[in-house]
C-alpha cells in the first residue's frame, strides 16, 4: 500500500474515533447570558436522577477549555456579551452551541429592550435551537440528543475535525 494512502487511512480512522468519542461522551458548559433562571432550572433538572442526562454521556464541566458544547440560556445582554464571546473563544474546536429557550433564540420577552442584544446567534454561531419559555426538560434532552446524533460518524460523511465546520 502507498504510504500516503496508509497515512490517510490512519488519519481518517483517528478522526472517526474522535468523532465517535465526542458524540458519545461530550463535555458541556452552561452559560447564562441574562436568563430569568427559568431555563436554567429546567437545564439543571436534566442532570437530576429523574432525567439523568449523563446516560447520554453528557458531562458538565466548569471550564470552557474542556467543553465541546456550550449550553446557552437567556438573551444576550450588553453586560454579558463580551463574556459570552470570551467563553466561546476559549472552547477548543470543533465546538457546538445550543441555544435553550425563547430568550436565547430571539431575545424572547426581553427582545428590543435597552440592554438586550436579542438572541445568542446575534453574537456567536448556534448549532441547535430549543424553543420554549422555558423549554421542558424533555425538550432540552431531545434537542441535545438530536445534536449528538448529527455528530455521529456515518460511512459516507466526512468526520468532524478541527478543520471542518459543522
Ligand atoms: S425563555 Fe422564558 S424561562 Fe427562559 S429565560 Fe426567557 S423568560 Fe425566562
Distance of CA 71 from the midpoint of ligand 1 (Å): 14
Q: Which of 30, 35, 41, 77 to mutate to test the pocket of ligand 1 (most atoms within 8 A of CB)?
A: 35
**CATH number where 118 lies:** 3.40.50.12280
In a domain, 11, yes or no: no
In a domain, 63, yes or no: yes
| Ligand 1 atom at minimum distance from 34 CA | 5
In a domain, 3, yes or no: no
CA–CA dist 41, 158 (Å, integer): 37
Encode the chain (166 residues) as per-residue pLDDT tens digits: 566 676 777 888 888 888 888 888 899 999 999 999 999 999 999 999 999 999 998 999 899 999 999 999 999 999 999 999 999 999 999 999 999 999 999 999 999 999 999 999 999 999 999 999 999 999 999 999 999 988 877 766 555 555 444 3
Instruction: Find the residues whose C-beta lies inside 6 A of ligand 1.
Output: 35-36, 38-39, 73-74, 101-103, 108-109, 133-134
In a domain, 20, yes or no: no
What is the pTM for the complete model shown?
0.86
Containing structural domain, residue 39: 28-151
Q: 3-state DSSP call for residue 140?
A: helix
Amino acid at each position: 500500500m502507498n504510504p500516503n494512502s496508509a497515512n490517510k487511512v490512519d488519519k481518517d480512522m483517528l478522526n472517526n474515533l474522535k468523532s465517535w468519542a465526542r458524540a458519545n461522551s461530550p463535555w458541556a458548559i452552561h452559560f447564562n447570558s441574562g436568563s430569568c433562571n427559568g431555563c436554567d432550572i429546567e437545564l439543571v433538572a436534566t442532570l437530576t436522577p429523574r432525567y439523568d442526562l449523563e446516560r447520554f454521556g453528557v458531562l458538565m464541566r466548569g471550564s470552557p477549555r474542556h467543553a465541546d458544547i456550550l449550553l446557552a440560556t437567556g438573551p444576550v445582554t450588553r453586560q454579558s456579551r463580551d463574556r459570552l464571546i470570551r467563553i466561546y473563544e476559549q472552547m477548543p474546536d470543533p465546538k457546538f452551541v445550543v441555544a435553550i429557550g425563547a430568550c436565547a433564540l430571539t431575545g424572547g420577552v426581553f427582545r428590543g429592550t435597552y440592554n438586550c442584544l436579542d438572541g445568542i446567534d446575534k453574537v456567536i454561531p448556534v448549532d441547535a435551537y430549543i424553543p420554549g419559555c422555558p423549554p421542558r426538560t424533555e425538550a432540552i434532552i431531545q434537542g441535545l440528543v438530536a445534536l449528538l446524533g448529527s455528530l455521529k460518524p456515518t460511512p459516507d460523511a466526512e468526520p468532524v475535525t478541527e478543520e471542518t465546520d459543522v
